[in-house]
Amino acid sequence: MKKMFTAERRQLIMELLKQEHRVTVKQLSKNLNVSEVTLRTDLNEMEKQGLLLRTHGGAILNETLNDEDSFLERSKKNIENKKTLSYKALDLIEEKSCILLDASTTVLELAKLLKHYDKKLTILTNGISSAIELKENPYLTVILIGGVLRAGSMALEGQIGTDVLDNINEIDLLFTSASGFTLESGLTDFNVYEVDLKSQMVQKSKKVIALLDHTKFGHNSIATFAKSSQIDLVITDQQPSEDIINQLKQLNIEVMY
C-alpha cells in the first residue's frame, strides 16, 4: 500500500468520523494500515486543532466544528464581517486584471460585489456559487476551474483544476480565505484535496490576498496551502495585537483592517 502523507491520513480520519461519528484506534489501524502509535499522535494533534474529541481508545466527531458544516450553513455565519472584508478587497482590483477567487464563503461575498462591476476583468474560480453570481455580467470573462464536487461543498477540487491553472500564464491577484491562520503554519484548511488546488493557486498568482476575520487568527487546520512567506496582504475585520502586526511586518505582509 502506498505510504500516505500526514495530511492525507488525517483527512481520511475526518471522512471516517463524518460517516461513523466515532472511531477507534484499532479500527483506524486496520483500515489505514498505519501503526496505532502513529494514529494516537494523529488523534491527539487533531484534538488540539478542534477537529475531534478524544475518547478512551479512539475519538468522536466534534459536532460544534464549523468546518464540518455545509457550505450553505457556513455562508450564513459572520456575514457582516465577510461583507466588510470584501468591500476592502474590491478597492484593490484594477480594470483588465486577471484575478482568482477561491471557493470560500468569504470570497463569495466579493463575487457578489463583482457581479455589479462595470469594468473588464478576467476571473478564474473553483467556486460554483461565485461563478453563478458572476455569469450575467457582460464585462467579466469567467473561467470555472473544473474538478470533483463533493457532498456539502460548492468547491471544485482535484487534479483537473490544477491542469487548467497550468494553462494560465499570469494571475494578478488571488483572493482566498482559510479555516485558520498562524505565523508558523500559514493559511490552513481542513480538506486536503482542496488544499492541493489552493496551493497551486498560490504558486500561480503574483499577489496573494487573504481575507480573514479575527476568529481565524491563532487557529490551525489539517493542511497548509500558503506559507506565511507566500502571503502579501491580510485583510481582517479587527486590529490584530501589536505583536502579531509586528511579526507580519517582519514577513513583509501588509495588514488592512
For the entire predicted model, the pTM comes to 0.77
**3-state SS, residue 211:** strand
- In CATH terms, are 6-64 and 71-256 the same topology? no
Q: Provide the CATH topology of domain 71-256.
A: Rossmann fold (3.40.50)
Pairing mode of beta strands 186-189, 180-182:
antiparallel
For residue 210, CA distances in Å to 25, 37, 79, 178, 179 come to: 36, 36, 17, 8, 11
Domain range summary for the chain, segments of one domain joined by + = 6-64, 71-256
* pLDDT tens readout for residues 156-177: 877 776 778 888 888 999 999 9
Q: Tell me how many degrees the CA angle 124-130-132 measures, rounded to the nearest 5.
A: 105
| Residue 168 confidence (pLDDT) | 85
Listed as ranges, residues in the chain with pLDDT below 70 are: 1-2, 63-77, 150-152, 161
CATH class of the region 6-64: mainly alpha
| Residue 7 confidence (pLDDT) | 80
Burial annotation 8-30 (CB, 10 A radius, 16+ → b, else e)? bbbbbbbebbeeeeebbbeebbe
